[in-house]
Structure 1
Amino acid sequence: MSKSLGNFFTICQITQRYHPLALRYFLINTHYRSPLNYSIVQLEGASNAIFYIYQTLKDCQDGLLQLQEEIPNDGKPVRTTPDAKECISKLRNEFQVKMSDDLSTSLILTGAFLEVLKLVNNLLTMLKKKQQKQQRLLVIQSLKEIKKEVMKVLDVLGLQPPCSYTEVSGFTYYTMLRFMPSVKF
């Protein structure tokens, strides 16, 4: 078998195993001027990262849908928690700096981006606890604003899903179960 035909079969196996967004995430994590070396471990890591991103966004979307009636539409400026404000600012700045620094996309999906996702999960946990109405509204508005910023970053990087968050996270979860049966969830 020729080397190019072998590479073709390898690529076919990879595309069946991993969601296209996981493959794109993997490619973005390599600088465009660096040679592309791959391993199954790196592809699994990309798949896990995509699962985490879209599961977090799905949880955020579900939480906001349940609280839709609590969100005011009075035209007043949006207020967020100090943590959310700081995280959003840090994400914007870091994104701009890294994109301006020779398209360092490999560094964008770490650091401030991961901090924002962790904050989303923390805010969702806060929503489950009893709070005063004003604090609850602040958390809801913070989630909305953070989600908007995350979506902007994903859009620029071409990581916006063509389908729902549920389908992306479901696909990656299914493939992890199917191809990694030894992993316990």
Structure 2
Amino acid sequence: MAAGQVRPITLVGTPVLHQPCRLVDDFDAALKELADDMFASMYEADGVGLAANQIGVALRVFVYDCPDEDGERHKGVVVNPVLELPALENRRLDDGDEGCLSVPGPHARLARPDRATVHGFDVTGAAVTVEGTGLLARCLQHETDHLEGRLYIDRLSSRARKKVLKEYETLRTEPDALSG
């Protein structure tokens, strides 16, 4: 169980989700508290990753707790991440399902590179590098996108995006749709 306080998840359409986040300058107690709150909020929402703007904080921070392609679980915090993807000639795409806590309910197939690396810092300011495969690679890309003001639905075709948003709206307005 995370030590932080659960905060509400920010939903699609909220301005903080659709604009780039600010770099973190202060590696202080407030940053550690934010990370703790992010873990608590992610676990409460049953997620595997969460960006700071998903709880309304426009800072370049994300947390993750998910397995790689071998099933090994990875957990951590990345502050001011820089995403690195394989060169095009070495890139293989994983056409898996993707969802988002800020667009709760629907999922859609989205091709992403099957490997990803993120360079950044932990909450103390120490340099970290996270290399991911499988779900972890998808998570690193998804959370970094959030910090750029992009949701996974922004990477879908307009037809797929409309379908996801229609399903999301149906689930929001018809609580019984969740059970059915």
TM-score tier after normalising by the smaller chain length: under 0.3
Structure having the higher strand fraction is: 2
Report 1 or 2 for greater relative contact order, CA contacts < 8 Å, sequence distance ≥ 6: 1
Structure number with bigger Rg = 1
Structure having the higher helix fraction is: 1
